[in-house]
Structure 1
């Protein structure tokens, strides 16, 4: 006899199950992905690190006046800061793999606070080099651009270029927030008070990083943002410590694309942090502009840099990064060539045009460079970018000291602007020579 009984529905096919699971799925979709929390805290941490990096350009003259140190001597401390900022970066990326993002970043913020705070006790030039140069250089180098590449590489698949732009803009935002304040305090109360304030700001960020940053998406029970179910994006990497940084360098150095990116980025550092970021206020003061006004203009560069870098990140997801670098370097070079004719005691309309234009271009080079490193070197991309960024800071260090020397010898910075402008043209050509993998895009 045939059994006419209806078999029970298989597990998961009961409509009641659908009714009970639907709200949970909806809640999962509506819940803020932890990647955005990590990115937000990372932005604040980078902003805190950038606070001290806004100080040197407005304290060169106060230190020169109080201690009698030459511009070249003070610039040497700035150069060491920039050099360590770059050379520590690739090792910091590897240490983040070994010890975790949270521990490395918190330690870096403490070093920045110590270096900034101890400057108030210095009486000799070597102490400036030890605090301003060594401690702060190691600190900011431990959470520099490879920190950005590590966060975006582990936590994001979708919107990676955009998030890279936003986090990169944190440095400019730090300058925006602190530079006018530092200049005003240094003018009215001396240079020691802003140094203490910067130390306090760096320390205040430590609890946020410790409480809210996780090393991998799996630590929060999720996949990387936008990653499909079968993707290994954000997976844990083998623990290899600082040795991994050297191995990645050895492998990357065999590829022409690495040297082209590193060379272009060295010129990028020379033309931004090393030259404009360090010496613009002093150069403008040489032409009769008050330091507070010049600092305000440099802060405006930070305002427009936020927009420019975020837009660059958005474009990097859609346009060949090499074409973006070609445009950025070419236009930057032209603007530096005309800058000497714009400096004066007053801010003419032409200077406002330069500030807006240069601000949009300031570090817009970072998102396309990060993405090219990811394309060329895969999972080793953050560490490879760390070495590219090291070249950026070597260029910045050479420019900071070189421009100070030119100022001491010739009495003006004009030659420094012209040399930097010509080098940017070379960087534009180097960027177009990078060969992307056939699967890129």
Structure 2
């Protein structure tokens, strides 16, 4: 079944597979999944441009407008909260109307929110632009976008592809963070804001031309599909998208596994996007480090995040995802505990050890979490369940973004925020290992939610 904007014909020269085939017939060319995946990656890179902005522009906005760290952190907090809470509804909208229109709308919203900041004169306008507009746009193509693409287009290599796509956010940080810092230093923060808006708009043509909603739109089955695991069917949900998202939440919330995953992922968000991505640069500047140096260090986190996340995807296909999460959270806590003693006006070998170490661990938690959501809650509902789990990630990030700013304003230091975050990582490790082991479902007609 085709629908909406995704009812596209196969590209010229592509062949429809014979009935029951797991992939296009020999000689028919590259499976379209390997077109959708790179387009998704580039889209995530372009949309991640804004993720570079808050930490870099916090001090310039403070200097120009006199806004406190807590006030600016509030705008980031609203952004992160909406980023997470919009995600489940975006996953349901993609299920109902298709990936292409939802992601196109999201990119336009990010560009609009970032671009309008050049006209702001009051703190509420910062909250509206950074918080609401960018939050809604970014949330509409967040991790639920990754889970939707992976679950629909791939049966084989799911963990690896999830890792590569998740690394798209880190690559965006890598590409844009030094550029944003340089623009803000030499040409003012407004040029940096306009650059991030342009980056989001630049990706729209790729989505319009190459993105497809489901392999069935091209007469294909998912890459690596078999009769035992054909992937989710191209069905039309009954009722509203909001209703479907809430129905899946209501069913999943009755399972202990959902709350264990959501609790751990909330701490993941607090210790990455909320604390480090938002406050690492101001914290380093408090110790005398130049902003461009601090931004470059955070960009290096992005470099190693790419390697760490791809490796995590590879490991997820081979190792119990619960054990991976246990290891990731423990290692992250160790790094946060050491960070206050490592910051100084200059980079040292110990600083580089932290940056590399933290980069490898940054979002390595995503592939095993995506896999656990699919295995425990089924292929049909797994993407929406993960979107709700990711919502908890952003709620945790929102509290950390605002809370760390309050701690900095009241104590004059971020040290307490780092120590508290290290303690939370221990809690996340315990939650992850508490998830019961359940064999992955393998039959095609699995129930929407597997028992736990």
TM-score, normalization: structure 2?
0.91
Q: After superposition, where does 1:157-176 map in structure 2 within 5 Å?
A: 157-176=155-174
Q: Unaligned regions of 5+ residues in structure 2, if any?
A: 1-23, 443-452
Q: Tell me the equivalent position of 1:436.
A: 437
Q: Tell me the equivalent position of 1:330.
A: 330
2: CA distance between counterparts of 1:294 and 1:382? 35
2: CA distance between counterparts of 1:268 and 1:248? 23
Q: Tell me the equivalent position of 1:295.
A: 295
- Preserved contact between residue 287 and residue 343 of structure 1 (Cα < 8 Å): yes
Q: Tell me the equivalent position of 1:285.
A: 285
- Preserved contact between residue 223 and residue 234 of structure 1 (Cα < 8 Å): no
Q: Are 2:122 and 1:108 equivalent residues in the alignment?
A: no
CA shift for structure 1 position 228? 1.8
| Secondary structure of the structure 2 residue equivalent to 1:116 | helix
2: CA distance between counterparts of 1:25 and 1:381? 29
2: CA distance between counterparts of 1:436 and 1:107? 39
CA shift for structure 1 position 235? 1.5
- Preserved contact between residue 155 and residue 234 of structure 1 (Cα < 8 Å): no
1: CA distance between counterparts of 2:439 and 2:182? 52
User: Which deviates the most, 177-186 or 235-244?
Assistant: 235-244
- Preserved contact between residue 156 and residue 225 of structure 1 (Cα < 8 Å): yes
Q: Unaligned regions of 5+ residues in structure 1, if any?
A: 1-23
Q: After superposition, where does 1:394-409 map in structure 2 within 5 Å?
A: 394-409=395-410
The verdict on how the C-alpha distance between 1:439 and 1:206 changes in structure 2, with shifts beyond 3 A counting, is closer
Q: Tell me the equivalent position of 1:15.
A: none
CA shift for structure 1 position 237? 3.0
Q: Tell me the equivalent position of 2:224.
A: 226
Q: Tell me the equivalent position of 2:91.
A: 93
Q: Tell me the equivalent position of 2:18.
A: none
CA shift for structure 1 position 25? 4.4
| Secondary structure of the structure 1 residue equivalent to 2:185 | helix
2: CA distance between counterparts of 1:440 and 1:146? 21
Deviations 1:1-36 (A, max 9, x none): xxxxxxxxxxxxxxxxxxxxxxx94312xx111001
Q: Tell me the equivalent position of 2:37.
A: 39
Q: Are 2:210 and 1:212 equivalent residues in the alignment?
A: yes
Q: Tell me the equivalent position of 1:199.
A: 197
Q: Tell me the equivalent position of 1:368.
A: 368
Deviations 1:350-397 (A, max 9, x none): 000000000000000000000000011102110000010000000000
2: CA distance between counterparts of 1:438 and 1:366? 19
CA shift for structure 1 position 220? 1.3
The verdict on how the C-alpha distance between 1:257 and 1:72 changes in structure 2, with shifts beyond 3 A counting, is same
Runs of 4+ in structure 1 off by over 3 angstroms are 229-232, 438-441
2: CA distance between counterparts of 1:146 and 1:25? 31
Q: Tell me the equivalent position of 2:63.
A: 65
The verdict on how the C-alpha distance between 1:255 and 1:349 changes in structure 2, with shifts beyond 3 A counting, is same
Deviations 1:241-300 (A, max 9, x none): 221100010001000000000000000000000000000000000000000000000000
| Secondary structure of the structure 2 residue equivalent to 1:55 | helix
TM-score, normalization: structure 1?
0.93
The verdict on how the C-alpha distance between 1:106 and 1:377 changes in structure 2, with shifts beyond 3 A counting, is same
CA shift for structure 1 position 438? 3.5
Q: After superposition, where does 1:376-387 map in structure 2 within 5 Å?
A: 376-378=376-378, 379-387=380-388
Q: Tell me the equivalent position of 1:345.
A: 345
- Preserved contact between residue 114 and residue 197 of structure 2 (Cα < 8 Å): yes
User: What is the RMSD of the two structures over their aligned residues, measured on CA atoms?
Assistant: 1.1
| Structure richer in helix, relative to its length | 1
2: CA distance between counterparts of 1:293 and 1:438? 47
Q: After superposition, where does 1:121-270 map in structure 2 within 5 Å?
A: 121-229=119-227, 231-240=229-238, 241-270=241-270
The verdict on how the C-alpha distance between 1:216 and 1:126 changes in structure 2, with shifts beyond 3 A counting, is same
2: CA distance between counterparts of 1:238 and 1:351? 51
Deviations 1:132-160 (A, max 9, x none): 11000000000000000000000000000
Q: Tell me the equivalent position of 2:449.
A: none
| Secondary structure of the structure 2 residue equivalent to 1:65 | helix
CA shift for structure 1 position 440? 5.8
| Secondary structure of the structure 1 residue equivalent to 2:295 | helix
| Secondary structure of the structure 2 residue equivalent to 1:157 | coil
